[in-house]
Amino acid sequence: MQHKIEIVQTLLEALPYIKKFRDEIIVIKYGGSAQESEELKAKFAQDIVLLHTVGMRPVVVHGGGKNITRLLSDLGVDTRFIDGQRVTTREVMRVAEMVLSGEINKEIVALLNSQGARAVGISGKDANFLEAIPKDSENFGYTGVIEQINTEIVDNILDDGFVPVIAPIAGSQTLGHPGFNINADLAASRIAVALGARKILFLTDTPGVLDGEGKLIPTLTIDQTRRLKEEEVIRGGMIPKVDACIDALRGGVKKAHIIDGRVEHSLLLEILTSSGIGTCIEL
């Protein structure tokens, strides 16, 4: 009986958040170990299905950097990074699109559908959803920055009761152009702003933003985050994540969260409980 009472208490704790975020768009950047472990994949899919079932409108934007790097290695193609972002040559662009828009996107769609969601996979090239320009063609090649977002296709997917799953490949207005590889964190941020999302969450392989002693920082403001960057407490691959959080907040998203995707049901713990599990960044 005590176990049953604890279940009811858990549901009651979640109820205010279910009411608060009902009909709200929640953008989730899916990556890291949560995208690698078969067990964590299933838990992630269950989380998305539950959020959708209780009336939230989840939008999944996924990465796939490890898969891209592995395939590039198998093909003998060199790859390198600058400040956590991949330099995209024409060869790398072909592989990135193959992995992101093909292999990974459809795997996530199938996973969500197997758990009872109705998911639809697209890339930024579909219906000109994402249009980009070069970030710095001399240094980054076909790595792009999003210039325009045409939300109609995703709005329609959401209105029809489906879960959009988005690969961060953008199109170009130049005829015959191969397109652009977009950093998935920054893509998620821009998409969240364009869709008017209430929240954005980034699944990572760390508990969240850590201080100089390696301890989790539960909450941060934009100014505090910028200071940590200047002091190089925030560095490497965490830089594009916090930059994406700041961009989303400045664009109107209420809260941005960096959470540990290695923890089972991390999405539910962050969205539906008072304590949360990661770092929440807000204005």
Q: Is residue 6 part of a domain?
A: no
Mean pLDDT of the chain: 92
Instruction: Find the domain containing 68 and state its range.
Output: 24-282
Q: Residue 224: what pLDDT?
A: 96
Spatial distance between the Cα atoms of 82 and 19, rounded to a whole number of angstroms = 42
Q: Which residues are annotated as a binding site for substrate?
A: 64-65, 86, 181
Q: Is residue 13 part of a domain?
A: no
pLDDT tens-digit series, residues 119-165: 999 999 999 999 999 998 888 999 999 999 999 999 999 999 999 99
Q: Is residue 16 part of a domain?
A: no
Q: Is residue 256 part of a domain?
A: yes
Q: Which residues are annotated as a binding site?
A: 64-65, 86, 181
Using CA atoms, how far residue 219 sits from 224, 237, 248, 255, in Å, is 10, 19, 16, 10
CATH number for the domain spanning 72: value is 3.40.1160.10
- What is the count of structural domains for the chain? 1
Cα-based angle 252, 14, 59 (whole degrees, multiple of 5): 40
pLDDT tens-digit series, residues 221-262: 999 999 999 999 998 878 889 999 999 999 999 999 999 999
Q: Is residue 14 part of a domain?
A: no
Q: Is residue 12 part of a domain?
A: no
| pTM attached to this predicted model | 0.93
Spatial distance between the Cα atoms of 200 and 256, rounded to a whole number of angstroms = 5
Q: Is residue 235 part of a domain?
A: yes
Nearest alpha carbon to residue 34 among 87, 104, 83: 104
pLDDT tens-digit series, residues 56-103: 999 999 999 889 999 999 999 988 888 767 899 999 999 999 999 999
Q: Is residue 162 part of a domain?
A: yes
